Amino acid sequence: MKALVAVKRVVDYNVKVRVKADGSDVDIGNVKMSMNPFDEIAVEEAVRLKEAGKVSEIVAVSLGGKKSEETLRTALAMGADRAIHVETDGKLEPLAVAKLLKSIADKEQPQLLLLGKQAIDDDANQTAQMLAALLNASQGTFACKVELVDNEVLVTREIDGGEETVALKLPAVISADLRLNEPRFVKLPNIMAAKKKPLEKFSPSDLGVDIKPLMHVVKVAEPKQRKASVKVSSVAELVEKLKNEAKVI
Ligand code: AMP
């Protein structure tokens, strides 16, 4: 069974991003970039399924500028077998990403499509759902457990106040949540070996997909600064402040 995993290059989760002076976007010049953390979890899950003998080939796909190649090399070092890079410097909205991934899926015919539940830069949480709809495939979002049983995949999903397990027909699109697994630490020999693994390139036009954005960002702003807290010395003082300063009681 073939698994396709989508990996996005995003600003590293440890970086505190700054907004550009003109408020048009966040400034990503000279900041550390990494694989989207939820995509790392998706790759790890595919690799574990391969190690368990349930998946035979893992294809990692990334869409974006030239440097997305680095993200693909990380996926290859984690255990993906080959990579596909759809190279574009254009801004990609989730619908365009879903259309591009669909076109790759049409070529590759994977039975499992693993994505992150959301990209930590746009926080859209849309691509997996749109991809499943475009492919007319089943979808299991926010997965915290994935099991392949016969011709189905059992996905345990994180839902409000608990978990839900659904049985999906294949092909299925699954989006990885935080508790699905803990991604492995990539070792140097694997990084070296990943350099020799195949990486194929396409452009959006090769795939016949129009990536023209359907929206534009009006404004990006920093969150409002919170006022410094004060320490109260007694319950009476707290009640007095809540009543007369915050006016919430
Ligand atoms: P989003 O809907 O933008 O929050 O992204 C959800 C997931 O879609 C991500 O975690 C990735 O697995 C996948 N994805 C989004 N954008 C890209 C991209 N440019 N390249 C590869 N995968 C992507």
Q: Which residue has the tokens 């070296």?
A: 192
pLDDT in tens, 162-219: 999 999 999 999 999 999 999 999 999 999 999 999 999 999 999 999 999 999 999 9
- DSSP readout, 91-157? ---HHHHHHHHHHHHHHH--SEEEEES--TTT----HHHHHHHHHT-EEEEEEEEEEEETTEEEEEE
How far is CA 16 from its chain centroid? 19
CA angle 90, 91, 92 (to 5 degrees): 110
More confident residue, 224 or 113: 113
Query: What is the spatial distance between Cα 117 and Cα 170, in angstroms, rounded to a whole number?
Result: 19
User: What spacing in Å lies between the alpha carbon of 160 and ligand 1's midpoint?
Assistant: 23
Q: What's the pLDDT band for 29 if we cut at 50, 70, 90?
A: confident
- Is residue 227 predicted with pLDDT exceeding 90? no
> Is residue 90 a contact partner of residue 107, using CB atoms and an 8 Å limit?
no
Does the Cβ of 9 fall within 6 Å of ligand 1? no
39, 59, 88, best to mutate for ligand 1 pocket (most atoms within 8 Å of CB): 39
11, 103, 127, best to mutate for ligand 1 pocket (most atoms within 8 Å of CB): 127
pLDDT in tens, 76-130: 999 999 999 999 998 899 999 999 999 999 999 999 999 999 999 999 999 999 9
Q: Which residue has the tokens 């099991």?
A: 147
Give the residue from 120, 141, 139 showing the smallest Cα distance to 33. 120
Query: What is the spatial distance between Cα 174 and Cα 129, in angstroms, rounded to a whole number?
Result: 9
Q: Which residue has the tokens 């690799």?
A: 47
Q: What does the mean pLDDT of the chain come to?
A: 96
- Half-sphere exposure of 113 toward its Cβ, with a 13 Å CA cutoff? 32
Angle between helices 94-108 and 127-135 (to 10 degrees): 40
Determine the pLDDT at residue 211: 95
- Residue with the smallest CA separation from ligand 1 atom 23 is 8
